[in-house]
């Protein structure tokens, strides 16, 4: 193999390796990353009573604090191994739509953009569920159940915890509705 061919194969590999090594590893905990000078986001270890403190880098659309934590450090137990036990049927999605309308829509909006009337004055604003429903998350079930059950207090948001006001099946139905991309409710019971 000529030296040119070797250089063409070796240099891109070297550059990719250098870039990968310069990125924070998953073993770094949130407060370690924050201390490393991330600038616009600071947080304590979730689950230890600290809250996610938002800075100017997060405007409410796109990534949400909980989503970022889940992607970087995983979902805590007992939520990490949960899966939706409800059948993924139109009936489940319709039930989720009703529960969403009664409990979520006032802040997250009819289509899930985080633009509901009750959420307009919140800082940070409600999460964009329409954006989230488009994310190809392998761990969707545990993530959304954790979010709805625990609320947002540990991340500095106003989202209430629903684990004491909604049953597990109701939380799973809402999860199915959001995962189905928040379809418009069916008026006649048929689609």
Per-residue pLDDT of the chain (191 residues), as tens digits, is 566 655 555 555 544 444 444 444 444 444 433 332 233 333 333 333 333 333 333 344 444 678 788 888 889 999 999 999 999 999 999 999 999 999 999 999 999 999 999 999 998 899 999 888 887 665 588 999 999 999 999 988 999 999 999 999 999 999 999 989 888 766 644 44
pLDDT at 158: 93
* Domains: count for the chain: 1
CA 131 to chain centre: 9
Give φ, ψ of 43 to 5 degrees.
Answer: -155, 160
Answer yes or no: is 148 within a domain: yes
**How far apart (Å, rounded) are the C-alpha atoms in residues 96 and 90?**
10
For residue 130, tell me if it sits in a domain: yes
Q: Does any domain span residue 89? A: yes
Whether 149 is covered by a domain: the verdict is yes
Which residue segment(s) compose the domain that 137 sits in? 79-179
- For 94-111, letters b (16+ CB in 10 Å) and e give bbbbebbeebbbebbbeb
pTM for this structure?
0.65
Is residue 83 domain-resident? yes
Confirm whether 161 is domain-assigned. yes
CATH number at residue 95: 1.10.760.10
Residue 8 lies in a domain: no
Q: Is residue 104 part of a domain?
A: yes
Return d(Cα 12, Cα 137) in angstroms, integer.
29
């Amino acid at each position: 193999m000529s030296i040119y061919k070797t250089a063409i194969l070796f240099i891109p590999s070297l550059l990719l390796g250098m870039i990968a090594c310069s990125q924070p590893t998953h073993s770094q905990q949130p407060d370690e990353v924050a201390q490393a000078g991330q600038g616009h986001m600071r947080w304590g270890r979730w689950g230890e009573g600290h809250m996610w403190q938002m800075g100017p880098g997060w405007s409410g659309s796109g990534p949400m604090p909980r989503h970022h934590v889940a992607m970087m450090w995983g979902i805590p137990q007992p939520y990490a191994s949960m899966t939706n036990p409800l059948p993924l049927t139109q009936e489940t999605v319709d039930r989720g739509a009703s529960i969403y309308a009664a409990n979520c829509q006032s802040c997250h909006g009819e289509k899930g953009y985080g633009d509901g009337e009750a959420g307009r004055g919140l800082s940070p604003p409600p999460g964009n569920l329409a954006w989230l429903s488009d994310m190809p998350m392998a761990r969707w079930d545990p993530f959304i159940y954790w979010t709805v059950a625990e609320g947002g207090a540990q991340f500095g948001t106003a989202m209430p915890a629903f684990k004491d006001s909604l049953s597990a099946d109701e939380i799973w139905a809402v999860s199915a509705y959001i995962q189905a991309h928040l379809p418009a409710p069916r008026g006649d019971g048929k689609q």
